[in-house]
Structure 1
Amino acid sequence: MDKENKFRKINYSKIKLDPENPRLPGSFRRGRKEEKDLINWMLLEAATVELMYAIGQNGYFIGEQLLVVEDKENPENYIVIEGNRRLTAVKLLNEPELANVKKSAISEVIENTEERPQDIPCLVFEDKSEILKYLGFRHITGIKSWKLLQKASYLYDVYHNEFDDKNFITKCRNIAKNIGSSSNYVRRLITAFNIFKKVEDEGFYSISGLDDTKFHLNYLVDALNKKNIKEHIGVNINSNTPLKDLNQKNLKELIFWWFEKTEGLPRVIGDSDGLKKLDLILGSEKALEAFRDGKSIDDSVELTKDIDSIFRTEIIKSLERLESADNLTHKVEDFYSNLYEDLKMIRKLALKIKEYKDQIEDSKDEF
C-alpha cells in the first residue's frame, strides 16, 4: 500500500456518496443528483435495509474500511469510492429522515437496533485511479462481483482514464493484468459496452419496455464469442478499432430479435443455446432468409443442415409423435370425428415416401 494512503476515522457526515458509482445505471447518473437521490436508489436497488440492520445490531466492523478521496470542491469533506452501500446504511441509521422510500422498513430497523456509528474507518487515497485498480480485482474477478453492466461501466471508465498512450488491444491487456482477468474477456466487455451506448443513444430503438435497467449486456458479451454473429454486426474484437465496420442496420435487427416481444416472448433468447442457434442461422443465407421471413428459430436452424439430415430428423420426429399418440390410445374415451381421415392421410404420405424411395433405388439398378 502506498505511504500516502492514510487510515483515518472520519465522521459519516463529512463523507459524500459517489455520484459516479458504477452500481448506478447510466440513465440515473445523467444530470446532477442530490445525496437524497443516491440514498433512495441504494435503498431500492442495493439491499441497504438488511445492511442497516446488521450494522445497527453489531456496530461497524473496523476491517470494512471505506476507500475515499478528498472532495476537491470542498477539501474538508470526502467522497467514498468503495463502500457506498455501507455509508448509506450508516447515514440512515443516524438520519432515517433522509429516506423517501422504505420508510416503514427503516423505522423497524431503528426500533430494533442500538448501534449508531458516527466515525467510520477510512483509507484516504490521493487519487481515485489508485482505488479503481483495486475495485477491478474486487468486483470483477474477486469475491464481491458486480452485475455485468456495472463491471462494463467500470472498465469503460478505466479504459478512458488510464493508459492514454496505448492502443485498444494493449490497453485491454494491461487492464486484464491489473484485475486478474483475460484480455479476451476485457475486450469483449468494453466492446459490448460501447455497442450498448450506441443502442442507448438510439433510445433502444423505441422497443417497448427496454431501457438500461432491462438490457441484458451478457447477450452482447457472449455474442462476441460467436463468429457469425460478430460478422453479422461487423465487429472485430481482435482489431484496434473493433467497431470501425459496425453494421448499424444489422445491429438494430439483432437487438429487435433479442428484446422485442410477441405474445410475451422474443424471437431469440440470448442464452447459450439461443446464441448457438442464432450463430448457425447467420452462417447460412438460406436459413437467415427464412428466419427474416418469420420462420421460428428451430425451423430456421434445420435449414442450416443438409437435406438428408433434415429428412431423417423429420421422419424421426413424426414417428415419435405417432408413438406418443399410440401410447395414449387406450386412455381415449371419445375419438375425434376426423381421426379416420387423418389416419388415411398418414398412410397415404408414408406410401408416397416409400414409392419415391423405391423409384430411386430401382433407377440405380438400371444399366
Structure 2
Amino acid sequence: MTQQFTPIEISDLKLDLFNPRLPKSKQGKDEKTVIEFMLLEAATLELMLAIAENDFFAGELLLVVKDETDEGKYIVIEGNRRLTAVKLLHNLELTSVKKIATKEIVDNAKFKPTELPCLVFEDKNKILKYLGFRHITGIKSWRLLEKARYLFELRNSNDFQNLSFLDASKEIAKMIGSTSAYVKRLLISFELYKVVEDEAFYQIDGLNDTRFFLNYFTDGLNKENIRNFIKVNLNSENPLENIDNEHLKKLTHWWFEKSEGQSRVLGDSEGLKLLDKVIGHEDALIAFERGLNIYEAYEITDDFDIQFENRIKETLKSIEKAHSLSPKVKKFYTKFREDIQTIKTTVEIIETSFNIKTK
C-alpha cells in the first residue's frame, strides 16, 4: 500500500460528494449542499468550535486521493466533517444555514488553519478497507444506513466485484473484523432499501432516505417468517432473486406509514417478534391485513401461554408503579376501593384456575 504524508492547502482539498455518510438525495450535488448537510446532521458546529479554540489536531490526518479531473486538487475520502469545519472558518458564504452560530464561532476564533495534514493514497480502495474497520466495527461507528451504503460500495470495488456474493461477504467480514452473517444482512438490507427508494418510498408521507430505519430490515431478516414473507434467501448467491415486491411494499407500509402518529408495527424487538408470529399464521395475517392491530392479530396465533405470562408481567409493573406513586397521592379517586377489590377477586380466580391445573 502506497501513501504519502503531506500538508495540503485547504483551497486544494475538495469534499467527497459521494461520501457514504451522505443520503442519496444529497450525493453528487455541489459543495454547498454537502456543507449544509454536515452542519445540520453531523455535529459540525461543535467540531468547528473546537478547532477555532484549540487549532487542528495534527494526529487527525485526512485521507485523500488525487482528483484525476482537476490537477493539483485532492478529494477527501476520510475527514469531510473536519474539512467542512475548517472551510467554514474561512468562508461563511459556503452555507445559508446556521449562519448566526457559525459567524459567532468565526468572530471569536483563535485559530483558522490554512493547511491540513493529509495522507495521500494512490487508490481509493485502500482507504475503503481502512474505513471498514474504523466505521463499521471500530471506535467511530457510522449509522446503520451509512455502514450499509459503504459496504455496498466496497462490495462493488475492484477488490471484491469478481467474487461471488457469499465469498465477498466472508472476505469483507475478515477485513473489517466482523462476521459474514452480519455483512450479508447489511448488504441484503441495503439492496432491499434500494428497491424501496427506487419506488419513491411507496409515496409514504414523510418517508425519505434521512428518515428510513435500516435496522428494521437487518433485524427483520433474522426472523424466518418475515424473511420468507418477502422471499429473501440469506444463503443464496442472489438473495433477492425471488423477491416478492408486493409483500416488501406491505412490510414497508406496516413499519413506516403512520396513522395518528403511530405505525401499524414498531420495528423494535417486540414488534418484530409479534409481526413474525402473525405472518407465520395464516388466519392471524388475514385478520391483520383486514384491520386488526398487531396485538389483536397476535392473539389469534394461539400462543396463549406466552400471552398470559406477558399480561401478568405487564400488570405487575403497573401495580408496582402505582405503589411507588401512592405515598404522593393527596386524595384517592372515588372508585379506588371498588377497583382494588376487583383486582383481588380476579387474582383469586386466576389462582384457583392455576391450582386446578397443577393438581
> Structure 1 runs of 4+ off > 3 angstroms?
309-317, 330-335
Over 3 Å counting, the alpha-carbon distance change for 1:293 and 1:217 in structure 2 is: same
TM-score, with structure 1 as normaliser: 0.84
Residue among 29, 40, 47 paired with 2:43: 47
Aligned length: 330
Contact kept? 1:302, 1:310, Cα under 8 Å:
no
TM-score, with structure 2 as normaliser: 0.85
Please state if 1:225 is matched with 2:226: no
Superposed CA RMSD in Å reads: 2.7
Q: Which range is displaced more, 282-291 or 6-15?
A: 282-291
Q: Secondary structure at the match of 1:26?
A: coil
Residue among 179, 183, 186 paired with 1:186: 183
Please state if 1:200 is matched with 2:197: yes
Structure 2 Cα separation of the partners of residues 72 and 258 of structure 1 = 43
1:143-158 aligned at under 5 Å gives the runs 143-158=139-154
CA apart distance, 1:183: 0.3
Residue among 234, 237, 256 paired with 1:237: 234
Structure 1 Cα separation of the partners of residues 310 and 118 of structure 2 = 67
| Residue in structure 2 matched with residue 19 of structure 1 by the alignment | 17
Structure 1 Cα separation of the partners of residues 106 and 230 of structure 2 = 53
| Residue in structure 2 matched with residue 362 of structure 1 by the alignment | none
Structure 1 Cα separation of the partners of residues 196 and 148 of structure 2 = 15
| Residue in structure 2 matched with residue 121 of structure 1 by the alignment | 117
| Residue in structure 2 matched with residue 105 of structure 1 by the alignment | 101
| Residue in structure 1 matched with residue 356 of structure 2 by the alignment | none
Contact kept? 1:303, 1:310, Cα under 8 Å:
no
Please state if 1:213 is matched with 2:204: no
Contact kept? 1:14, 1:76, Cα under 8 Å:
yes
Structure 2 Cα separation of the partners of residues 310 and 206 of structure 1 = 37
Overall identity of the aligned pairs, in %: 52
- Structure 1 gaps, min length 5: 355-367
- Structure 2 gaps, min length 5: 354-359
Residue among 39, 42, 54 paired with 1:58: 54
Structure 1 Cα separation of the partners of residues 293 and 232 of structure 2 = 26
| Residue in structure 2 matched with residue 71 of structure 1 by the alignment | 67
CA apart distance, 1:116: 0.9
Q: Secondary structure at the match of 1:28?
A: coil
Please state if 1:90 is matched with 2:86: yes
Over 3 Å counting, the alpha-carbon distance change for 1:304 and 1:112 in structure 2 is: same
Over 3 Å counting, the alpha-carbon distance change for 1:51 and 1:313 in structure 2 is: closer
Structure 1 Cα separation of the partners of residues 180 and 215 of structure 2 = 17
Structure 1 Cα separation of the partners of residues 52 and 136 of structure 2 = 29
| Residue in structure 2 matched with residue 171 of structure 1 by the alignment | 168
Structure 2 Cα separation of the partners of residues 208 and 177 of structure 1 = 40
Contact kept? 1:139, 1:146, Cα under 8 Å:
yes
| Residue in structure 2 matched with residue 299 of structure 1 by the alignment | 296
